[in-house]
Amino acid sequence: MNRYLNVAMGQLGPIQRADDRASVVRRMCEMMREAKALGAHVIVYPELALTTFFPRWYIEDEHELDAFYETEMPNAETLPLFALARELGVGFYLGYAELAIEAGRKRRFNTAILVSGQGRIIAKYRKVHLPGHAEHEPWRRFQHLEKRYFEPGPGFGVTRAFGGVVGMALCNDRRWAETYRVLGLQGCEMTFIGYNTPVHNAPAPAHDDLSLFHNQLALQAGAYQNGMWVVGVAKAGVEEGVDSIGGSCIVAPSGEVVSRCLTKDDEVMVARCSLDWCAIYKRTTFDFDKHRQPHAYGLIVERKGETLAADGTPLAVTAPGH
């Protein structure tokens, strides 16, 4: 028996600063209806899906900045999405900027939630790998101030949902092997990842032509090396003059792309994913208990010609060939 999960990518085209949340939620609801018509059980939306990608601006006024964050979820603007999920029996993953008051302190996170087909929040994830910079860098064509506007989250966890074991990550997390491995070590069978990736990489413009390739490379490697499905979903197209990649895709545990969005607009694509396809990878090539060598993964630090283990113990290094 196969545990099939029909997953929809709810790729969004650009959201301009003047677009209000109500109009974005209307677009998402339309996509959720289309996903349902195509047989989807769950739809994955991008990172920071409710507004334009505001970390591209250096914003000094706190009230102006706060306007991009959600202080509660659901709220008046997003409620229609939750109500539609309940009506259609379709779950969703949604990325948004979260402003929380914790221990009397204002805290900001780049967050994703997982919502059941009953319209209930069943898991929350706060982005761990925050790219970019914390100070204004006027030499850039546009800013990437995630390090200023968000705190890193505590880590990666899995949730039993949609008949399987589901993980969440956000955008830059997908470039890090650790993201998938930490989820894989918890038995993750499918990871949802929303992203906003400008084509232009200011510190490394020579990589601009590779931005789509690197996206897919990371998603495919993460899926294969951990025997899990990976669903990467973009906010794409030209937003406030900044062009972002599309290339949303669903990757099987084999590392093969089974579905891919073709535009840089609002687009829904669905794949029928057997969660049981993970097991053959998890039980053979990537049987972690049998084949991983955690004892060999300790950090080795080179200092002043000496080679030290992570705990500072000097190591005898064997020369190659000996």
Which of 103, 100, 109 minimizes the C-alpha distance to 127? 109
Q: Is 132 in the site for ligand CDV (CB under 6 A)?
A: yes
CB of 36 or CB of 175, closer to ligand CDV: 175
**Are residues 169 and 125 in contact, defined by beta-carbon separation less than 8 angstroms?**
yes
CA–CA separation, 181 vs 39, rounded Å?
30
In this chain, which stretch among 73-81, 167-175, 280-288, 312-320 interacts with ligand CDV, using CB under 6 A? 167-175
Q: Which residue in 11, 116, 159, 172 binds ligand CDV (CB under 6 A)? A: 172
| Count of Cβ atoms closer than 10 Å to residue 237 Cβ | 19
User: b/e string for 87-110 if b means 16 or more Cβ within 10 A?
Assistant: ebebbbbbbbbbbbeeeeeeebbb
How many helices (H) and strands (E) the chain has is answered by 8, 16
Who contacts 107 (Cβ-Cβ below 8 Å, separation ≥6)?
A: 99, 100, 101, 151
The footprint of ligand CDV on residues 261-320 (CB under 6 A) is none
In this chain, which stretch among 59-67, 193-201, 222-230, 251-259 interacts with ligand CDV, using CB under 6 A? 193-201
Structure tokens at 24: 């974005």
In this chain, which stretch among 35-43, 170-178, 180-188, 272-280 interacts with ligand CDV, using CB under 6 A? 170-178
CB of 6 or CB of 248, closer to ligand CDV: 248
Least gap, CB of 57 to ligand CDV (angstroms): 14
Q: Which residue in 78, 159, 197, 220 binds ligand CDV (CB under 6 A)? A: 197
Who contacts 224 (Cβ-Cβ below 8 Å, separation ≥6)?
A: 251, 253, 254, 255, 281
Q: Which residue in 171, 242, 271, 275 binds ligand CDV (CB under 6 A)? A: 171
CA–CA separation, 46 vs 28, rounded Å?
11
CB of 128 or CB of 183, closer to ligand CDV: 128
| Count of Cβ atoms closer than 10 Å to residue 229 Cβ | 26
Which of 177, 184, 174, 180 minimizes the C-alpha distance to 279? 184
DSSP 8-state code for residue 56: G
- Residues taking part in catalysis: 47, 127, 171
What is the x/- site pattern for ligand CDV, positions 215-254, by CB under 6 A? ----------------------------------------
In this chain, which stretch among 20-28, 194-202, 229-237, 272-280 interacts with ligand CDV, using CB under 6 A? 194-202
Least gap, CB of 53 to ligand CDV (angstroms): 7
CB of 17 or CB of 160, closer to ligand CDV: 17
Q: Which residue in 175, 181, 235, 264 binds ligand CDV (CB under 6 A)? A: 175
**Are residues 306 and 314 in contact, defined by beta-carbon separation less than 8 angstroms?**
yes
Least gap, CB of 318 to ligand CDV (angstroms): 38
* Cα angle 256-261-267, degrees, rounded to a multiple of 5: 145
Q: Which residue in 195, 224, 277, 286 binds ligand CDV (CB under 6 A)? A: 195
Least gap, CB of 257 to ligand CDV (angstroms): 18
**Are residues 161 and 92 in contact, defined by beta-carbon separation less than 8 angstroms?**
no
CB of 192 or CB of 195, closer to ligand CDV: 195
Q: Is 144 in the site for ligand CDV (CB under 6 A)?
A: yes
User: Which residues make up the interface to ligand CDV (CB under 6 A)?
Assistant: 47, 131-132, 144, 171-172, 175, 195-197
